[in-house]
Amino acid sequence: MDVYESVILEWLAQHYWPFVRVSSMLLTMAVFSGQGIPARIKVFFALGITIALAPALPPIDAPFDTVSLSGMLVTIQQIIIGVALGFLSLLAVNTFALAGQVLGMQIGLGFAAMVDPNSGQQVPVVAQFYLMLATLIFLALDGHLLMIRMVAASFEAIPVGQIGLDADAFFYIANWAVWMFSAALGFAISAMVSILLINLSFGVMTRASPQLNIFAVGFPITMISGLLILWLTVGNFIVHFENQWQRAISGMCFILGGSC
């Protein structure tokens, strides 16, 4: 059987460019971009997704020439598209880590920190707790499967070539941080107001009775009240996560030109 060079190059182009886009998405995707997952596992996972998606993808017209200027430009475009898709999912999950950091400082647990397995940085335990909940809900809602569908749809919306995301897509990704901070504030505002009222009441008591030491009496009561408030407000977690995840899906659809 004769194997021609053109057939080999066509097969490589059909698998190499999707592999670059899929692996770039996994580098920034929620859950799978964490440092706790070995790089070898990520590579094999990206390779498995690419082999499964390649037969269903449209034919790729870009020639397989990675060392040329045009080939490197195509590679850069695939990296940007994959990173943009994964980055929105990461922002959606980290919204609740941001809310946890704010609440941890409010209730006095900001000093209690632990290592985040995703970033490797020290974060408050409240933020780590919310991040774990968001991660579990992300997997329970099949968010990882939806990301695979998104990257598969991206090849229909943005075919492999030297043309990638437009300026509106980059502006949308930068502007999506507004949704991140507003959603984190919306989730934590009730607990923040409750803790503020507790601190205000202790301030009035200390003013009326200077013998009460606010550090000896107010700090443990504020912490216990804060934990109780967190327990009362955690029931709304899934509702806020679903709203934020729907915004992330809408953002991915906007990046892909509405082709979802």
Range 80-107 average pLDDT:
86
How far is 106 from 23, CA to CA, in rounded Å? 39
Residue 115 bridge partners (DSSP): 122
Continuous H helices in the chain: 5-28, 39-53, 69-106, 125-140, 143-157, 167-208, 219-233, 237-255
How far is 183 from 223, CA to CA, in rounded Å? 24
Range 73-100 average pLDDT:
87
How far is 196 from 233, CA to CA, in rounded Å? 16
Dump the DSSP string for 216-228: IIIHHHHHHHHHH
Distances, alpha carbon 245 to alpha carbons 111, 147, 195, 237, 260, in Å: 30, 12, 28, 12, 15
Cβ atoms < 10 Å from Cβ of 72? 12
- Nearest of 147, 164, 154 to residue 75 by alpha carbon: 164
The four Cα atoms 164, 95, 135, 153 give a dihedral, to 10 degrees, of -20
Q: Per residue in 113-134, pLDDT tens?
A: 666 666 666 677 788 888 888 8
| CB-based contact 16:64 (threshold 8 Å) | yes
Q: Determine the pLDDT at residue 215.
A: 64
With b meaning 16 or more CB within 10 Å and e meaning fewer, what string describes 223-259? eebbeebbeebeeebeebbeebbebbbbbbebbbeee
Dump the DSSP string for 110-160: TT-EEE-TTT-SEEEHHHHHHHHHHHHHHHHTTHHHHHHHHHHHHHHHS-S
Range 190-219 average pLDDT:
74
How far is 198 from 221, CA to CA, in rounded Å? 9
DSSP state of 256: T
Q: Per residue in 142-197, pLDDT tens?
A: 888 888 888 888 888 888 776 778 788 888 888 888 888 888 888 888 888 888 88
Residue 113 bridge partners (DSSP): 124
Q: How confident is the model at residue 104 (pLDDT cuts 50, 70, 90)?
A: confident
DSSP state of 215: I
pTM value is 0.80
Whether the predicted pLDDT of 12 surpasses 80? no
